[in-house]
Amino acid sequence: MQADWQPTCSIELLHLRAQILAEIRSFFLTRAVLEVETPLLSYSSGTDPQLDFFTTDYCSYPLQQTLYLQTSPEFAMKRLLAAGSGCIYQICKAFRNGESGRNHNPEFTMLEWYRVGFTLTQLMDEIAELIALLFKERASLNATQRINYQDLFFKYTGLDALLFNYDDYCAFALKSQSLDAIELCKTDHNAWLDFIFSHHIQPSLGKNALCMVYGYPACQSSLARINKDNSKVTDRVEIFINGIELGNGYYELTDAQEQNQRFDEEILVRQQNSRPVIVKNTHLIAALDAGLPECSGMAIGLDRLLMVLTSNKHIDDVIPFSLARS
């Protein structure tokens, strides 16, 4: 048994983490992508109905204000893009309340980057290049896989991910012995997609390979733009290796009015589900209104990436101190 003061990961792992961070910075430096820093504390938060947030009270007599620890640097980075920063990246801490387990720690390290002028396909190419660099001579990966979400969903379930039929989805739940889904998801298409994907599809993705799933249903992305050829699909990609989700990417939504409407819809869902009240990020809406350049962005959880790279089964094994030892 280790004493509680000791780190949960090995010293060798600390060295590997430092090497990975250095290689990421070199990767973006050679591509003239600017490293930036944005606040971890903000007066507002995201609206995602699936996420809870950490808050703290900022006291400056005689005022007291609630601040939010950011779940992602996305909103602030988009404000930099709108101000003319050009292509940017950031390595930072992010925070999500209530998340713990084998693949989750409430405080984690995130790599996020935005490429001005990139389509989603170009972003996917760059993701594959970065992963190949980080795994080179450390772990062998098979050829990268690129799979359409609708095709993938049908392959594993026989269901159409873009056309919700409650009876068909219930029939699948009965057949797959997932009776909890009927009670948990009810008639919420988005909830059904999340449940089925995480339980019946994701564990099989990326067997010793980088798997990119693209073309998510429109109800699954609040920050990605709708595909120009199919309004039921958004230009979003998620990446997986050995069944572990590593990151999310979008061809970014630039329409301020549409983004504001999506935020309002998510806030309503949060209220209906009795989720903690949040403050909408009006600065992002103003930045979009001023003009966000055409761009694509990606966020990768670096702790999970280290888990996959080192074949560790728990996130505690790749971070210096778990929450229990913090």
- Residue ranges of domains in the chain: 11-141+208-325, 152-204
Alpha-helix runs per DSSP H in the chain: 11-29, 74-82, 120-135, 149-157, 166-175, 180-185, 189-196, 256-272, 282-291, 302-310
Could you give the 3-state DSSP secondary structure of residue 34?
strand
Give the C-alpha separation, 307 to 164, whole Å. 35
Nearest to residue 20, comparing CAs of 105, 146, 130, 163? 130
Nearest to residue 33, comparing CAs of 77, 75, 95? 77
Contact 245, 304 (CB under 8 A): yes
Give the C-alpha separation, 80 to 35, whole Å. 12
Burial 35-59 (b: 16+ CB within 10 A, else e): ebebeeebebbbbbbebbbbbeeee
- Two tokens, residue 134: 């980080």
Nearest to residue 150, comparing CAs of 245, 248, 230? 230
Give the C-alpha separation, 70 to 93, whole Å. 9
Give me the CATH topology for the region 11-141+208-325.
BirA Bifunctional Protein; domain 2 (3.30.930)
Residue in the structure block whose two tokens are 């504001």: 260
Strand partners, 68: 42, 55
Could you give the 3-state DSSP secondary structure of residue 85?
coil
Is-above-0.85 flag for pTM? yes
In this structure, is the dihedral angle defined by the CA atoms of residues 50, 51, 52 and 57, taken in order, positive or negative?
negative
In this structure, is the dihedral angle defined by the CA atoms of residues 195, 51, 123 and 208, taken in order, positive or negative?
negative
Which residue type sits at 166? Y
Helix (H) or strand (E) holding 146: strand 142-148
Q: How far is CA 167 from the centre of its chain?
A: 31
pLDDT tens for each residue of the chain, 326 residues long: 568 899 999 999 999 999 999 999 999 999 999 999 999 999 998 898 888 999 999 998 888 889 999 999 999 999 999 999 999 999 999 999 987 789 999 999 999 999 999 999 999 999 999 999 999 989 889 999 999 999 999 999 999 999 999 999 999 999 999 989 999 999 999 999 999 999 999 999 999 999 999 999 998 888 899 999 999 999 999 999 999 999 999 999 999 999 999 999 999 988 988 888 888 999 999 999 999 999 999 999 999 999 999 999 999 999 999 998 98
Longest dimension (CA), the chain: 61
